């Protein structure tokens, strides 16, 4: 049995729809992980211990257990206690929080690396500590950490395939469905790999633009 | 209220870092519109005293008053934060290393605090920024980033940023000592202009010539105490204390070498 790529056009719409879901999940989770990461970093560095410790436990949980398990827990587990989240939302939250914890580590380092004179200058103008963090320290910390955060976001794109296990019809699951009807795994997996690669290139292009914009203000 | 009360009143200020006593019972009264220079050798506590005034380095003992308000009041944490944020709006501070916000353009460096704290609209804040930047001669660079400015220009923007909060007092901590010699004068000129407008100022400096020409009073500090204070012509021409004489002699020699 040779290769036959002619089966692809018939299923292309399903696969492309899957690609759109993958992009949507990745984008949603990236946003959650970005702002969640900043929030977690600020809490880890500045919050009262009463707040800090539960969050630290939470972070540890997310770092120390498989993402797959976290997705199961959010999607299947929460229903049991009456919280019924749609699969897409569960996927965005699960992926988003998981990567928020990773991003938080990066943000913490870069927040601490911002010159102490910055917060002092902001405070002497009368800004509160929170205002100074929000307007002066965090924007600079974010600026310095965009390249490694970008790497995390590309890892996030790849891990988004995991949400297929809770039934989100993203790229990988769509391919599996097409394969189920055609018995053509090689053709469809190659196609899907190519699509992941293209999305990846797109993300990298966006990242480079962001980096250039930032560079201009340095 | 007592009309004789000084504008800034520092009483028995003490400060230790661990076991190191950096300020030992400092007293300083500054009247409205007065310009005071603080000179002294490295490590004598000049910066610590200045930073205590707006509570960047809180005192271990003593009191600091601005008009009828005690700055280092004893309050519960939350209330104290609110109090100190208000006090700091009235005290402008200029640092040796400028500390401009590098991610913001010159304009936004100046408008940030007035917009956040005084609720100015964009138009009002822009007008304010233009006014202050014109004053320090930096209006042409309003849309530049700090990284695109020379040291002297950065410091002038930093002064405009502080002035935009309409402070009652300006504190300068060696505002020109990180600058190349040829850039010192442009910053000094701005400070002289403020002096002519009768801004109350406390200026920590190593520039004796500038201190003599601008200041009403000079304090000589050494090892956490005020050794001698008086009008500039006395401190610089006829200092009584031997420590002051030695410091000035060494400083003069150092400048010529
Ligand atoms: N945060 C700090 N922790 C510990 N020691 C400090 C701290 N800040 C200042 N000191 C010490 O306090 C002393 C006075 O420092 P300060 O910066 O006030 O001196 P200064 O007169 O401004 O000196 P310079 O002319 O070098 O700026 C120095 O011995 C310094 O090492
Ligand atoms: Mg100093």
Question: Which residues of B are less than 8 Å from A218 in CB distance?
Answer: 102, 145, 147
How far, in Å, CA of A122 to CA of A165, rounded?
48
Q: Does B127 touch chain A (CB under 8 A)?
A: no
Note the pLDDT of residue A218.
65
pLDDT of B257 above 70: no
Smallest Cα–Cα separation from A124: which of B56, B75, B172, B125?
B56
- Are B49 and B57 contacting, i.e. CB atoms less than 8 angstroms apart? no
Question: Which CATH class name applies to A19-170?
Answer: mainly alpha
Q: Mean pLDDT over residues A25-42, rounded?
A: 96
CA distance A6 to chain B (A): 53
Token pair recorded at residue A100: 């928020």
Mutate to test the interface with A, among B91, B101, B114, B202 (most CBs of A within 10 A): B101
Q: ipTM for the complex? A: 0.92
Average pLDDT for residues B116-129, to the nearest whole number? 96
- The pTM of this model reads 0.89
pLDDT value at position B3?
54
Test the B interface: residue of A125, A130, A143 with most B CBs within 10 Å: A125
B1 has pLDDT over 50 = no
DSSP three-state, residue A67: helix
pLDDT band at A8 (very low <50, low <70, confident <90, very high): confident
- Which chain B residue shows the shortest CA-CA distance from A218? B147
Q: Within an 8 Å CB–CB cutoff, is residue A134 touching chain B? A: no
Cα A81 from chain centroid (whole Å) = 26
Q: How far is CA A195 from the centre of its chain?
A: 18
């Amino acid at each position: 049995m040779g290769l036959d790529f002619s089966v692809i056009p018939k299923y292309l719409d399903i696969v492309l729809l899957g690609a759109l879901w993958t992009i949507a999940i990745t984008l949603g989770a990236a946003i959650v992980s970005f702002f969640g990461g900043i929030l977690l970093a600020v809490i880890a560095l500045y919050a009262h211990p009463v707040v800090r410790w539960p969050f630290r436990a939470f972070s540890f949980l997310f770092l120390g257990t498989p993402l797959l398990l976290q997705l199961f827990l959010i999607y299947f587990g929460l229903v049991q206690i009456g919280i019924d989240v749609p699969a897409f939302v569960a996927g965005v939250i699960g992926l988003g929080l998981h990567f928020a914890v990773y991003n938080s580590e990066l943000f913490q380092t870069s927040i601490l690396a911002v010159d102490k004179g910055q917060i002092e200058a902001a405070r002497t103008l009368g800004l509160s500590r929170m205002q100074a963090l929000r307007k002066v320290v965090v924007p600079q910390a974010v600026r310095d950490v965009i390249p490694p955060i970008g790497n995390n976001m590309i890892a996030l794109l790849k891990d988004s395939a995991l949400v297929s296990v809770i039934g989100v019809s993203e790229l990988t699951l769509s391919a599996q469905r097409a394969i189920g009807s055609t018995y053509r795994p090689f053709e469809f997996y190659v196609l899907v790999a190519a699509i992941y690669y293209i999305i990846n290139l797109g993300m990298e292009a966006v990242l480079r633009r962001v980096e250039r914009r930032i560079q201009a203000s340095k | 209220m007592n009309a004789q009360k000084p504008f800034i009143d520092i009483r028995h200020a003490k400060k230790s870092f661990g076991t190191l006593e950096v300020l030992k019972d400092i007293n300083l009264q500054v009247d409205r519109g007065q310009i005071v220079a603080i000179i002294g050798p490295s490590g004598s506590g000049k910066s610590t005293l200045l930073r205590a005034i707006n509570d960047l380095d809180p005192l271990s003992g003593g009191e600091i008053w601005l008009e009828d308000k005690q700055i280092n009041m004893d309050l519960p944490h939350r209330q104290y934060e609110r109090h100190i944020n208000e006090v700091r709006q009235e005290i402008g501070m200029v640092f040796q290393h400028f500390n401009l916000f590098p991610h913001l353009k010159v304009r936004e460096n100046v408008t940030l605090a007035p917009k956040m704290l005084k609720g100015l609209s964009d138009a009002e804040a822009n007008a304010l920024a233009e006014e202050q930047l014109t004053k320090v001669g930096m209006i042409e660079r309003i849309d530049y980033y700090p990284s695109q400015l020379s040291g002297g220009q950065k410091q002038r923007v930093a002064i405009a940023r502080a002035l935009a909060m309409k402070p009652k007092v300006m504190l300068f901590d060696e505002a020109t000592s990180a600058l190349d010699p040829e850039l010192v004068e442009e910053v000094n000129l701005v400070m002289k202009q403020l002096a002519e407008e009768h801004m109350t100022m406390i200026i920590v400096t190593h520039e004796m010539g500038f201190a003599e020409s601008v200041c009403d009073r000079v304090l000589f500090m050494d090892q956490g105490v005020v050794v001698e204070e008086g009008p500039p012509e006395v401190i610089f021409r006829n200092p009584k204390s031997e420590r002051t004489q030695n410091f000035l002699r060494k400083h003069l020699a150092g400048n010529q070498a």
